[in-house]
Amino acid sequence: MSTAYEPNRTTGNLGLRITLSNSSAPFLSYFYFHFSEIQELQKNESREFNIFVNGKLSHERFAPSYLVTNTVISTSNERASDGFIYIWLNRTRNSTKPPLLNAFEIYLQKELSQQETNQTDVNAIKNIKSVYEVDKNWQGDPCAPKAYVWEGLNCSYDTSTPRIISLDLSQNSLSGTVPEFLANLSFLRVLNLKKNNLKGPIPSALLKRTKNGLSLRNKIISITTNKKSINLTVVILLYDPSRVLEMAFSKKFLVSLLQVTLFVFPLLVQAQDSSGFISIDCGISDVSRYTDETTGITYFSDANFAETGENQGISPAYKEQNEQQLWNLRSFPEGSRNCYNLKPLATENGTRYLVRAGFLYGNYDNKRQVPKFDLYIGVELWDTVKFKDSTTAMYKEITYVPSSDHIFICLVNTGNGIPFISLLELRPLQDDIYVSKPGTSLELYDHYDFCPATDEVMRYKDDIYSRVWSPIDWEPVITASSSSISNNHFQIPFTVMKTAYTTNKTTPYMNIYWTQLNSTATYFLYMHFGELEKLQANQSREFNIFINGDLWYGPYVPTYLSVYTIYTGANESGIITDSDGKLEIWLNSTEDSTLPPLINALEMYVLREFSQQTTSQTDAKAISDVKLVYGLKRNWQGDPCAPETYLWDGLDCSYNANSPHRIVSLNLSSSGLKGGIAPSIANLKMLNILDLSNNNLTGTIPEFLAQLSSLRVLIDTSPSSTPCTSGSCGKKKTNFVVPLVASLGGVLFLILTLLAVLWALNRKKQQKTKDSRVDTVNVESNEEYFPSFVSKKQEFTHPEIQRITNNFERVLGEGGFGKVYHGYLNGIQLKLLLRVHHKNLTPLIGYCNEASNIALVYEYMAMGNLRSHLSGSSKNILSWEDRLRIAIDTAQGLEYLHNGCKPPIVHRDVKSTNILLNERLQGKLGDFGLSKFFPSEGGNYISTGATATPAGITTSIAGTPGYIDPEYYISSWLNEKSDVYSFGVVLLEIITARPVLAKTQQNNHIIEWVSSMLAKGDIKNILDPRLEGGFNINSAWKLIEISMACVSRTSTNRPTMNRALIELTECLGTELTGKDGHSVAECSKDSVGMVADNLLSLTPRAR
């Protein structure tokens, strides 16, 4: 509101034109105009205007107030004749100033006609899911929309809200008893639980709703034998029908059997009681649980929450002086990070929890050496656990808002002893208490209870949130004579609030202070007050609160028998200590006060900045399902991608500070996998690389993988797998490399090109026979041949090549191998069994190897090369999204050469003219005439590390001026980073559309020119002006950063192609996110233009 727009001319009016993408759909739009006069007008100046919507007066003679926000709301359900909505702010005759506008919002009314499932049914079915850990994709509303009703459910839509009428949980490996809450599905007609492992009696709540056997509203299932039908209606089929048929039943016997052998409620799915508490005594035996005599809280084993670790018990000498929850512990001698996975019942986003962890070493290992380790909550470092000695318990407590339906508590080994934990507690809090800014949490320093001398610690059940209050027995203390106090939303226990500390009547102030605090930390204070004495007419208690000498609050008068809390607000900056770490509170009576200050309770928290992004919940769920399906024994615990230091083994992720991390690479090679490919992999939408090699997978490649738009490489060398998506492949099974989403077009009539036909390159004196095979070529050297193409491909004769090219009639260009001709291939069956085969490499169709006539046959690329589309003469201007996709296509091709080929390959001539485009503008890297491969023996390997010194070989200089790696040019040392440099130059071409070498005296190389523009901060003029702003500015910055990293002069500072590919994918994601409606620049539904005598555009600026 500190800035506003007004027309340039004092006589001008201000207009807005709104475009709705669907010009025919009915709508109701709401307009919120925010005004504030930000100029102090003179006496002879005025600003007054009328507001019109589509020609109709909405507000008359509106005058903004000086430095005060005024909001005007208007609605419209009409468009102008041209389909737009026009809004005008027109100056009145009395106004000397034109209209202004500080801010403007538009909302379209959305009719929400769908009814949600009855809440009772929702609660019941969610309880079923939780209790039995149902392995189904049960998400969202159970019955609505109809197209997405939960698997196994049928619903009735005849009532005001949908009701569940059928539930099929057969063959789900259920075990246990039937829970009582099934009776809450009051409209249920069919419940099928057959082929499970169920025992126990039918719940009484279900029996009460029946007359004959069991009947839920209508007849459910009748059990029959092959002899006669038994007139009995039951809830479930107890056993397989085959087992039922073997028994001779009587009605009486069957009823008894059902009552004895139906299923069990699990002893423990989550250690939660009705209040939502999770209470875990770590290290007790797997099936143990007990109820604490003092609090009445039931504590459960941690067996269902942690996958690793060892149960231990403290030395008996320490048990008597400590509570039972600290007698046992779980230690983690293996792995660097071990995690607990807590799944609270309240899974709504924004739910706040109190999380408490307890630790007591107690010399459990008889070493008398206390460890030190890190404690994480989610992906954030909560604190470092350090012990004073073997006998002192340590507690950590924090308020936390999870971003998903689970909370990870992780212990990290820092090399200072084995991590362990004794106690874990989780308590749901009211959402409006202990609030801090998003991305932060409050870690407890302490809860203080001002009370008489006592050994009693106030906690649950006195405190409904199970806070633990430390007694402060300062004197004098006053105590309430009443048995109750009016509470507030902090719900401070009466047993805490009924006493208060005050000073002597002759001392009109109170001083509370801490020393040796962290001087760099920020603290939040919560002071709880309540007057406990009924004051006389001549008495008063009033005081000011000072913190470190500054007035914090006041004057304040406590209310009789009513709790009032003064605290640091969520939007406040918090409290810091002085330079020596001292924090001092003064409660000073005012001059009118006859009584000294008092305080009943005090809490202090430390603000924790939690800025780390977590893994996308879709990705996290998918990869966890993969772990479950294959029974992987890897130490996959906690968040899959974060912190990056503890990235799950076999994963690679893309990292963005402003959005969740995405899994882009999954390596499950040599993992002993069996069966088919896990369907949950289809949910890894950003997956680029999937490696399933050296496993025992069976079946076909599932079609759902083809729907992963980012997946480029699927590697599976399982002997029992076959690269087919249907049964048409027959029984033949082969080892294979499958590039997904690759298309070769028709086989019988395929338009091809002879990309790089070599003539007279190697005129051999010895005439080869027509049937000479390509594997007679010397594969030890690739100075003249590219060994990766030595394969069982289609072999052409020289006359066939002449016929295909119509005697070399049409020349397309010239590459590193020689001239390139256009041709047609007709009626020749193609054998596509090549070793180097990737959708972003120009597909090799065949070869000719006859003495002096040597040729390679490639697929024709209809749209030519990339450079032709970037040149100023091209009429086809590539969009920003097209450019990003072509960059990704090229990066994928290079990444495959570097990492997917054995031995690895360096292209050596990456440039825009060697990037070819098919009819769909899909980029394919071509012209391998200068490529080099690295022998698999002798230690020359291509590095895949992000910063490691790349391996390479010494070779003669080759390539195209402007694209050649300067380090390679100077030293003749060739490695994968040489391709990265050339690729970076291509990226700069894509960004700028400028030639690599310009005919200018200064900054003639594209890198020098871009560097000079960046030094001025002039990004706008770096980008191809023909784009006309059609890009996301953040995406543009990102691509420039990637390209400049690739063209670093030293190879060690350049990213690998794998890392560059990940960054480019993230860059495209930023661009597409903007197009999905999350960017000011573009909106898929509406676009807004501002008019002030001339039409202006609203465009975003870099923040």
As annotated, the active-site residues are 909
Q: How many CB atoms lie within 10 A of CB 405?
A: 15
Place of tokens 């968040």: 639
Q: Which residue type sits at 643?
A: P
| Cβ 151 vs Cβ 137: under 8 Å | yes
Write out the H or E segment, with its range, that includes residue 881.
helix 880-895
DSSP-H helix ranges across 65-211: 119-132, 204-207
454: which residues sit within 8 A by CB, 6+ positions away? 471, 473
Phi then psi for residue 15, to 5 deg, are -130, 155
Q: How many CB atoms lie within 10 A of CB 171?
A: 11
Please name which of 727, 658, 668 lies closest in space to residue 692, comparing C-alpha atoms.
Answer: 668
**Rounded Cα distance, 908 and 602, in Å:** 69
Q: Which residue type sits at 379?
A: V
| Cβ 469 vs Cβ 458: under 8 Å | yes
Q: What is the DSSP string of 979-1015?
A: HHHHHHHHHHHHHH---SB-S-SSS-BHHHHHHHHHH
| Cβ 358 vs Cβ 325: under 8 Å | yes
Q: Which residue type sits at 991?
A: I
Across 3-15, b (16+ Cβ under 10 Å) vs e yields ebebbeeeebbbb
Question: E strands along 241-361, which residues?
Answer: 278-281, 289-291, 298-300, 310-313, 328-331, 337-342, 352-359
| Cβ 117 vs Cβ 163: under 8 Å | yes
**Rounded Cα distance, 370 and 417, in Å:** 7
Please name which of 1012, 1020, 1011 lies closest in space to residue 1045, comparing C-alpha atoms.
Answer: 1011
Q: What is the DSSP string of 1076-1102?
A: IIISSS--SSEEEEEEESEEEE-----
Write the CA distances from 544 to 334, 512, 591, 604, 610, integer angstroms.
Answer: 55, 14, 11, 19, 34
| β partners of residue 575 | 523
| Cβ 362 vs Cβ 343: under 8 Å | no
- In three-state secondary structure terms, 1062 is helix
**Rounded Cα distance, 832 and 824, in Å:** 18
565: which residues sit within 8 A by CB, 6+ positions away? 488, 490, 492, 526, 527, 528, 529
